Amino acid sequence: MKTFGIAILGCGTVGSGVAKILLDMGSVLSERSARPIELRKIVDLSPKKSSEKNNIPLDLFCGGGKDLTPDEASGYISEIISDKDVDLVVETIGGTGDYLFSVILDAMKAKKHVVTANKAMLAERGSAIYQTAQENGVTLGYEASVCGAVPIIKAIREGFTGDEVQEISGIMNGTSNYILSKMELEGTDFKSALKMAQKAGYAEADPTLDISGGDAGHKLAILIRLAFGKEIEYKNLRKEGIQDIEREDIELANEMDCSIKLICYARKVEGRIAASVKPMMVKRNNLLSKVHGATNCVEVINKYSGRHYFMGAGAGGPETASSIVADIVFTARYGTVVDNSTPLRQLELVDADQFEFPYNITFSTADRPGVTGLVTTAIGAQKINIDTVSHNRHNRKEAVFSVATMPCTMQQIKDAVATIRKDSPELLTEEPKAIPILQ
């Protein structure tokens, strides 16, 4: 049987991990693929550095092992796209730029399969990529784009084809989870926990994409398309980060037997998809509340088979590389006979705020008698049932307390706050903070 040729574009942390697994496990992977698999070419701007650091033979790099200019690298990529001995291209360059976008499309048009971990590209510009793969009869492998080594893509795409996904909730960003875990378990504040994440290598020097919910949003957008057949505009997905979570929020959550986690959430109800990325208070009887550190965990609730959890390393070179190699093996064995396209449906995407959730609302008020009664009366007037009210925390001239509600909408909460401001203009010293509660 014809050898299945592989080319890797980019040999950084993930790309080098793919190369090492292909070289170390070559014979085993060939057995699993039922055909020989061979790494033929690597394009990287700094071949010598990558070769020495990762123990990859220098002759595998395009350009004879010398450092490449961007133009030279582009030339070698064009050669790979036209090379009939290359059957699959692994893209580990990253980013959403026009050049890389065109490279992916051109590779597919040249009848080459593509495997990528590029969640941002798929979430923001994926429509044309999925369509091009289908039109040219090639496979797009993207298991590594969501939660690294956690096989959530294959589970939904293959394992649950006899069922119907109704709800997805999960921890899909290891950096944010590491920070929140430090705040909960070690009592640190947000800034200190962020510095610890950066020192441990979990957070970039500019951590904005992680702590703002942007990275998690990329992953949720990919899963929404796969699980529900809804192609969404990434910019339309509601994303809130953890940068405003304070020690006081962590302590209030603990009193309620909850942990605060950055949760990717999507639920299908009557032709609508409610979705958002935001901090939630997760009840301790939910496994997600017990997931700490940089670990990722996705909960999937199906119509017939019920609740499932998928947990593991959500990032890291070897971990992400293992998912890419799994896609390579699958494609080598089945790529020409399996249609991995996702049927799309006409579903409305709505912000999860429009759906009912239990909420915990934290109020900072002037410290005077009758405050709790005024607040709870305004909440009740919006037909919101109250579950519990915490004790007051007195801080100089302020009182801080929280109200846990039964399921209601965010609009009801906003209306209650508006009533409080109207009836008692000087009562609220800060904007109330409402955090959904995940049962």
- Positive or negative, the CA dihedral 10, 13, 15, 19 is positive
Phi, psi (rounded to 5 degrees) for 110: -85, 10
Buried b (16+ CB within 10 A) or exposed e, 3-33: ebbbbbbbbbbbbbbbbbbbeebeeebbebb
**Contact yes or no for 142/123 (Cβ under 8 A):** no
Rounded-to-integer distance, Cα 183 and Cα 365, Å: 25
Q: Which amino acid is at 139?
A: T
Rounded to 5°, the CA angle 238-240-244 comes to: 160
Q: Which amino acid is at 345?
A: R
Catalytic, 219? Answer yes
Rounded-to-integer distance, Cα 125 and Cα 148, Å: 20
From the candidates 20, 41, 182, 219, give the one annotated as an active-site residue: 219
Rounded-to-integer distance, Cα 366 and Cα 421, Å: 12
**Contact yes or no for 402/414 (Cβ under 8 A):** no
**Contact yes or no for 395/363 (Cβ under 8 A):** no
Rounded-to-integer distance, Cα 87 and Cα 303, Å: 39
Tokens 């959530």 sit on residue: 152
Name the residues annotated as catalytic.
219
